[in-house]
């Protein structure tokens, strides 16, 4: 998927006021800007700390669950703020259910790699808790490679500290990552997808007893009036849903996958089936897209009257969003319905608005033409549970 990166630079102007006369002035001690900022509501503190490189005072971890704030970038990416090392440095990281390992762009990434530009970079030499590992890291990403080496350091996520955590420092990655807001990935797939036997971070949290209940809850928020993108809740279920959960078993040792009966596009009283003989779907928190086989995607976009533009994307008439067909994803015989407002992505720049279908051609990590991934377009309509202990995925309608 290609991103259009919008850059905004802030200019600070310093005003110097000369003192003409010597004046006796009574000084009143006022609360520092740092303390004022850190009294903001909890959901904003991680972002403020990241922007100003504040080092929050550690809080004792005497609870058994944790909420991780997500922020949204261009209605495309959902990322959280993660600290690494001592002293802590902050990074924008995607909590990605299609990656097993965690990685961050390394300070050793050479300047001839454009994907490393304009990102925060991890420098192990500046962290006293860093431990050298040096084992090579290599993952194939389509026709490109993501490569680097493993290191060990402490992760700081929300109020949790995960010491001696093994992750990859990336020194080479494909150019589209230059357009991403994220500086790296926190892997949330299953254990077998990890390279070098380094487990996803949540396995370590459960194993060390930092999080007691092995459940991950995913709430994706696409409300454009806020930059908040939702949250990842570890160790329980928050009340962001209506009704009850419907669970489907997850059979893959690598991905959070499940069987999908079919997809039905409902146009003017007629039903048009896609994935008619059943297919496999994967939960994907890294993107807003719904990804599948090219032939099936073209059919869906044709039925919703979306027109091809570039990079496999299809444009929808913005005035027709509210009258677009409902599309049902059938799981265990039950319909999970998306409306046009769910599966259309709005991108606005300088007063020009573009409406894009979130149905996109097959992605690089899909292993065969019968697999789909359900990203934010689906997850923002259905609160999602990854039940680690019972190896199943649960869905319930989002509370709106």
By annotation, the residues acting in catalysis are 96, 284
| Paired strand residues for 165 | 153
Q: What is the DSSP string of 146-183?
A: EEEEEEEEEEEETTEEEEEEEEEEEEE--GGGGG-S-S
Residue 319 DSSP one-character state? G
Query: What's the gap between Cα 296 and its chain centre?
Result: 25
Helix, strand, or coil (residue 240): coil
Say if CB 224 and CB 75 are below 8 A apart. yes
Distance in angstroms (rounded) separating the CA atoms of residues 96 and 100:
8
Say if CB 159 and CB 66 are below 8 A apart. yes
Distance in angstroms (rounded) separating the CA atoms of residues 282 and 366:
9
Q: What is the DSSP string of 100-156?
A: SS-EEEBTT--TT-GGGTTS--B-GGG-TT-EEEEEEEEEEETTEEEEEEEEEEEEE
- Residue 210: count of CB within 10 angstroms of its CB: 21
Phi, psi of 253 (to 5 degrees): -80, -5
Q: Buried (b) or exposed (e) across 46-71, using 16+ Cβ within 10 A?
A: bbebbeeeeeeeeeeeeeebbbbbbb
Distance in angstroms (rounded) separating the CA atoms of residues 84 and 182:
15
């Amino acid at each position: 998927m290609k991103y259009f990166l919008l850059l905004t630079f802030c200019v600070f102007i310093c005003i110097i006021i000369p003192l003409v006369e010597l004046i006796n002035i009574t000084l009143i001690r006022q609360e520092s800007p740092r303390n004022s900022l850190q009294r903001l509501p909890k959901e904003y503190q991680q972002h403020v700390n990241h922007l100003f490189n504040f080092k929050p005072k550690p809080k004792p971890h005497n609870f058994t669950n944790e909420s991780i704030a997500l922020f949204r970038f261009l209605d495309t990416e959902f990322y959280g703020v993660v600290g690494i090392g001592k002293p802590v440095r902050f990074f924008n990281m995607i909590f990605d259910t299609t990656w097993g390992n965690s990685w961050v762009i390394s300070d050793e990434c050479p300047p001839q790699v454009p994907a490393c530009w304009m990102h925060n970079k991890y420098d192990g030499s500046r962290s006293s808790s860093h431990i050298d590992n040096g084992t090579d890291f290599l993952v194939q990403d389509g026709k490109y490679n993501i490569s680097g080496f493993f290191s060990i350091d402490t992760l700081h996520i929300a109020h949790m500290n995960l010491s001696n955590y093994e992750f990859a420092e990336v020194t080479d990655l494909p150019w589209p990552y230059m357009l991403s807001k994220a500086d790296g990935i926190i892997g949330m797939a299953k254990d077998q997808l990890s390279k070098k036997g380094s487990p996803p971070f949540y396995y370590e949290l459960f194993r060390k007893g930092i999080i007691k209940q092995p459940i991950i809850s995913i709430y994706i928020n696409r409300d454009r009036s806020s930059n908040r993108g939702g949250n990842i809740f570890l160790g329980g279920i928050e009340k962001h849903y209506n009704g009850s959960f419907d669970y489907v078993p997850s059979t893959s040792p690598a991905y959070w996958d499940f069987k999908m009966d079919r997809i039905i596009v409902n146009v003017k009283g007629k039903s048009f089936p896609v994935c008619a003989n059943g297919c496999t779907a994967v939960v994907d928190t890294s993107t807003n897209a719904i990804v599948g086989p090219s032939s099936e995607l073209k059919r869906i976009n044709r039925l919703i009257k979306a027109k091809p533009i570039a990079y496999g994307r299809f444009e929808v008439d913005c005035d027709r969003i509210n009258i677009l067909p409902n599309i049902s994803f059938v799981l265990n015989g039950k319909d999970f319905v998306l409306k046009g407002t769910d599966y259309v992505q709005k991108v606005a720049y300088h007063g020009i608005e573009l409406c894009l279908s979130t149905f996109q051609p097959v992605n690089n990590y899909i292993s065969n033409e019968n697999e789909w991934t359900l990203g934010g377009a689906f997850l923002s309509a259905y609160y999602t549970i990854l039940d680690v202990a019972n190896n199943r995925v649960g869905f319930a309608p989002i509370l709106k």
